[in-house]
Amino acid sequence: MNSKSLTGTPEAFGTTKKISKVFIHSTVHGGGVATWRLSKKGSTSEAGVSLVWLWLMEDVAVWEGEGIEGGGGVAPCFLAMVSDVLHKIVSTISNQWTWWWDAGNKKDEIARAVLTISILLLSIFYYRWTILKSRNRITAPLPPGPRGLPIVGYLPFLGTNLHQQFAELAHQYGPIYKLWLGEKLCVVLNSPTLAKEVTRDKDTVFSNRDPPIAALAGTYGGVDIVWAPYSSYWRTMRKVFVREMLSNTSLEDTYNLRRDEVKKTIRDLHSKIGTAVEVSEITFLTELNVVMSMLWGSTVDSQRVDSIGIEFQAVILKMVELLAKPNMSDFFPILARFDVQGVEREMKRLLQWVERILDPILEARMEISRGEGDQEDGLKRKGKKDFIQILLELKKREDVSVPITLQQIKAMLLDIVVGGTDTTATTVEWVMAELIHKPQIMKMVQEELSGIVVLKETFRLHPPLPLLVPKRPNQSSIVGRYTIPKDTRVFLNVWAMHRDPEAWDDPSEFNPERFLSDASKWDYNGNNFQFLPFGSGRRICAGIPLAEKMVMYVLASLLHSFDWKVPEGEELDLSEKFGVVMKKSKPLIAIPTQRLSSLKLYE
């Protein structure tokens, strides 16, 4: 056979090697060496196709070519090796026989031939049988998808509104399809059935995140909750956050704090009556102040919290923007060290900036804990802990399964500030925009405050995280009859699912009443796979109780206290701009007018 061999670690073949024909000779996993025999004339019957592209993932080979796609586990390669060994055994046995058969007897010769042929046939049958068996086991192909260009894949065709483009591709390729973005294989899922498969049936496989480099740079390598891999570390951090900060008791304890912040906002707005205000900016600051007070309110006095808020706002928005920026380093890991677009550098610079705020707060908190600060008495009198105190206590404890460091605490604090503010502010902005667009529904809400259905309908039409947070399966698996190889980036397009005409009547229409019937069916807990604004499964949003309380409280206060309209001569724009958090393409600018009869109610 006119063949040549290539050897190397699987990673060396991990990307897109253009190969004309491939005969899988043998693969040794674990040792990490793969040998491929490239052949012009050689048999390609192992794969059964003339191959054009071949990728080898850790435990699965995936091929595509001349209109045929396929995949195979390591078993066929391993079997090729087994067949080699069998061949050697047969010839060894045959050689062994020569001393035994050397008598030259014709009968013996026939017997020898029959025996040899039988052994050969048996080997062939065994080989075929095991090949077929293994093929049946792992032959699910890769999902279909657009071809793209060599090397860059589909990258040049990506538009700015990714969620909409992904929804259009689903019309063409079906509810599950793949895209190559540079060297990154991505799979997009667009149906409740598939959502259920990855977030319920195979949740452990799909509970890892696929952090972009910007996320790693902004979280000391992913030691926060959002980007941490699925691990006991993540479990501990999430548990601490949910139990200590967002338990019913904690939320009740912090009610006054939220009330005070929202009242302050309403007072402030009242002083601006008749002038145009940016709705998301107001909500953002309110939410930020609430979250910060919960995190370090007992440590930092309220005036300082306010000034930190204004500093923080700009940096958080910049961070969220960088997370969504297409970064060549993510699509071509070989370029990562050059950081061509400077995304990593910029994120690290922002992180340093955040540290300049967080470090003194943590230091002050540690001082207080050491009993050296003047505030100790005040804190004791307040009788409650803020969240950084709980985290710092956890750091000191030796009995926790996963010891935590100061960096991890900072990553987690930042996570909560970033994860909790922009999402909430954007949601309030969308609800307000939809209500200003439909004044009769705004009236309904103001009169009977059936705000919850309005909120749900807004989440349906404008889910703040339209593609959730990308997942990365920790092993290859079959979803919707297709193989999703290990380490693929998996997007769940909830935006498309929330607008699927098969699931929703008039899906593009803002109609909160659709949520009136059987309201309990439409909770946010990820059990109804047609409606997943907070995701589903183990990695579902950790902040739902606070998010719901804050959004509802701010909305009710804005709508109860004021009437709203857009400035004269301006048209309300409801178009979307893709991002990790999906915003309005133009911020909502609106004018509040007094609604309550007594000025006292605004104090």
Q: Which of positions 235-294 make contact with ligand HEM (CB under 6 A)?
A: 238, 291
Determine the interface stretch with ligand HEM among 16-24, 172-180, 372-380, 417-425 (rule: CB under 6 A): 417-425
- Residue with smaller CB distance to ligand HEM, 189 or 291: 291
416 binds ligand HEM (CB under 6 A): yes
- Residue with smaller CB distance to ligand HEM, 213 or 228: 228
Q: What element of type H or E holds 584?
A: strand 583-584
540 binds ligand HEM (CB under 6 A): yes
- Residue with smaller CB distance to ligand HEM, 36 or 459: 459
Q: Which of positions 124-153 make contact with ligand HEM (CB under 6 A)?
A: none
CA gap 542, 416 in Å, rounded: 9
The residue among 293, 291, 244 whose CA lies nearest residue 391 is 244
CA gap 595, 260 in Å, rounded: 20
Is 541 labelled a binding residue? Answer: yes
Determine the interface stretch with ligand HEM among 117-125, 251-259, 399-407, 412-420 (rule: CB under 6 A): 412-420
543 binds ligand HEM (CB under 6 A): yes
- Residue with smaller CB distance to ligand HEM, 96 or 525: 525
Tabulate helix, strand, coil % of the chain (nearest 5): 50, 15, 35
Task: Report, in Å, the least distance between residue 531 CB and ligand HEM.
Answer: 12
Q: Which two tokens stand for residue 37?
A: 């025999």
- Residue with smaller CB distance to ligand HEM, 75 or 417: 417
**What 3-state DSSP class applies to 231?**
coil
Determine the interface stretch with ligand HEM among 184-192, 266-274, 538-546, 555-563 (rule: CB under 6 A): 538-546
Residue from 468, 479, 484, 559 that binds ligand HEM (CB under 6 A)?
468
- Residue with smaller CB distance to ligand HEM, 35 or 557: 557
Q: Per-residue contact track with ligand HEM, 193 to 232, x per CB under 6 A?
A: --------------------------------xx------
Residue from 320, 479, 547, 554 that binds ligand HEM (CB under 6 A)?
547
420 binds ligand HEM (CB under 6 A): yes
Task: Report, in Å, the least distance between residue 144 CB and ligand HEM.
Answer: 25
Residue from 77, 170, 279, 551 that binds ligand HEM (CB under 6 A)?
551
- Residue with smaller CB distance to ligand HEM, 332 or 387: 387
Q: Which of positions 341-360 make contact with ligand HEM (CB under 6 A)?
A: none
Q: Is-contact 541 418, C-beta < 8 A?
A: no
CA gap 372, 385 in Å, rounded: 17
* Strand stretches in 336-409, DSSP E: none
Q: Which two tokens stand for residue 448?
A: 């009977």
579 binds ligand HEM (CB under 6 A): no
465 binds ligand HEM (CB under 6 A): yes
189 binds ligand HEM (CB under 6 A): no
Sign of CA dihedral 265, 271, 277, 281: negative
533 binds ligand HEM (CB under 6 A): yes
* Strand stretches in 164-262, DSSP E: 176-181, 184-189
Neighbours of 134 (CB within 10 A): 18
Reading phi first (left if > 0) and then psi (alpha if -120 to 50, else beta), residue 424 is in: alpha
- Between the alpha carbon of residue 577 and those of residues 235, 237, 345, 469, the distances in Å are 33, 32, 25, 17
Place of tokens 């100790």: 376
CA gap 91, 97 in Å, rounded: 10
Written in H, E and C, the secondary structure of 273-289 is CCCCEEHHHHHHHHHHH
- Between the alpha carbon of residue 18 and those of residues 7, 14, 22, 485, the distances in Å are 15, 12, 10, 20
- Residue with smaller CB distance to ligand HEM, 146 or 587: 587
- Residue with smaller CB distance to ligand HEM, 21 or 539: 539
Q: Any residues with CB less than 8 A from the CB of 225 and at least 6 apart, and which?
A: 234, 237, 238, 241, 412, 415, 419, 542
State the number of binding residues for ligand HEM (CB under 6 A).
27
Residue from 546, 554, 588, 590 that binds ligand HEM (CB under 6 A)?
546
415 binds ligand HEM (CB under 6 A): yes
Q: Is-contact 114 106, C-beta < 8 A?
A: no
Question: In this structure, what are the phi and psi dihedrals at residue 551, rounded to the nearest 5 degrees?
Answer: -60, -45
464 binds ligand HEM (CB under 6 A): yes
17 - beta bridge partners?
A: 54
Binding residues for ligand HEM, per CB under 6 A?
225-226, 238, 291, 415-416, 419-420, 423-424, 427, 464-465, 468-469, 533-536, 539-543, 546-547, 551
Q: Which residues are annotated as a binding site?
A: 541
What residues are designated binding site for heme?
541
